[in-house]
Amino acid sequence: SRRTFLKGSAVVGTSFAVGAGFAARPGVASATPLMLKAQFTDAAIASDGVTPKVMTYGLGDGVAKGMPPVLRMKKGEPFAARLFNGLDEPTTVHWHGLRIVNAMDGVPEMTQAYVYPGDGFDYAFTPPDAGTFWYHPHCNTLTQMGHGMTGVIVVENPDDPQFDAEVVLNLRDWRLGKGGAFTAPFKPRDAAKGGTYGTVRTANWQEGPSYEAPAGGLVRVRIAATDVTRIYTIGLEGGQGVIVALDGNAMDKPFLLDRLDFGPGQRVELVVRMPDEEGKSVTLGNFRSSTPWTIATLKAVGSASLKRDLGDVTALPANAIAEADLSTATRIPLDFTATAEHKPTESICGSLGYTFWAINKVPWQGDTPDPVAPLSDLKLGKSYVLQVRNRTPHAHPIHLHGLSFRVLSSNKRTFLPPPTDTILLQPDEQAELGLVADNLGDWLLHCHIIEHQKTGMSAYFRVV
Ligand code: C2O
Ligand code: CU
């Protein structure tokens, strides 16, 4: 049966699935726990060598060969994974963007104990929303994520429209020197500004990979920005595509992609129309710097019997996310600032040794024992409006665990996205974020530029 087939296949690797006439890439869907092993491996990432001691996740007992597997779950169906720590330092798994119970959120000292080397932890939950999400550790994250531990999650929805192919892209940088060896994960002077960018830019651990898709067809492209620093401005060349979802949530109407900014932690889903002519390509590029570069290429193959039209792309079904009641909502001001006054705290989960940032004047790194007090206690079921203000000249992708919010207003944007778990706050942006506190527990709020998080831009809410 399909189920046995899925369980029996160790899935490592890329991305190509669901194609008319194309081999389906086996996914992972089971309430029998997946064995998810955090481990070291050696991988060829840069063109000039093999990077030793990359950190990754592998399925089952064997040695992982490359990037963390794309985990496939089903909306509303139980999922379970048994983490085994094969590293030489503590770790945990955070399921970024999934609105699951607090005890499964993966934040050490807050929702669970550290998982020490040789130990394990059982994660089990039911994802309530369909869409593109991701997973990563929440301990010593600049190193663990920077060295490879970022994987994509696809939560499938049986009610989704069909496409001719699907490509999943895990975008990230690597900080590598000669021969592919890791260099320092950050530079303090960059951590105090926009963050330290990598030297090797990859999609699915490859520089500018190319995927085949049926000529004339519609391809669903799920993109996750899992780097610890890089903000992208994406665009297409050689063809067109529409944005159908942002951060796991459907757009009301598919929206033609021109240029789109998105930062660490965020996801974009596009439907790309493949050229009719075999051999022609559509290129996904990053246009943020003056010299644009190729993220990945989609190459048309087969006869263009499909001739699908972007105009036929309909909205994906929406997730059921409660809207804040603005007449009763409590307003909570949140100021994001630069600071240099506080001493960093030592932590089992790693300290960078600097404090550069703060939320409401309090710096915290997010995974130390004895956390600072919550920003505030939120009452279960009540509505809130977070009045966020970026008082810095840098962009910050601010991520809230466990709860989704909607951008109600902003002085820096005309287009307001669907509900999200991460907002890329632009320099000097002031925005109002509406949410319903419908998930009990302690939920982190932090910048997903990990150097910023770990040097102070971190805090949490407590839903009681
Ligand atoms: Cu992906 Cu605490 O976050
Ligand atoms: Cu930041």
pLDDT in tens, 353-363: 888 999 999 88
> What is the model's pLDDT at position 342?
63
Burial grade of 348 (CB within 10 A; 0-12, 13-18, 19 or more): middle
Q: Please report the ipTM that was assigned to this predicted complex.
A: 0.98
pLDDT at 318 over 70: yes
> Alpha-carbon Rg of the chain, whole angstroms?
21
CA distances from 242 to 210, 280, 421 (A): 20, 19, 21
Atom in ligand 1 nearest the alpha carbon of residue 138: 2
Backbone phi and psi for residue 4, each to the nearest 5 degrees, phi listed first:
-65, -40
Its pTM stands at: 0.92
Ligand closest to Cα of 98 equals: 1
Q: Is the CB of 93 under 6 A from ligand 1?
A: no
- pLDDT for position 15: 31
Mean pLDDT of 229-239: 97
Domain assignment present for residue 322? The answer is: no
248 and 275 part of one domain: yes
Q: Are residues 95 and 219 in the same domain?
A: no
CA 39 to chain centre: 20
* 8 Å CB contact between 458 and 193: no
Q: Answer whether 401 contacts ligand 1 (Cβ < 6 A).
A: yes
Last residue of a domain, one of 138, 156, 174: 156
Show the tokens assigned to 22.
Answer: 């194309």
> Domain with 335 in it: what CATH number?
2.60.40.420
341 shares a domain with 262:
no
Looking at the structure, do residues 182 and 139 belong to the same domain, yes or no? no
Contact 289, 197 (CB under 8 A): no
Enumerate the β-bridge partners of residue 362: 359
User: Is the CB of residue 399 below 6 angstroms from any atom belonging to ligand 1?
Assistant: yes
> Which residue has the least CA distance to atom 1 on ligand 1?
96
Residue 152, CB half-sphere, CA atoms under 13 Å: how many?
32
Percent of the chain whose predicted confidence (pLDDT) is above 90? 81
CA 202, CA 165: separation in Å to the nearest integer?
A: 21
- Verify that 150 and 174 share a domain, yes or no: no
Residue 26: which domain range?
2-156
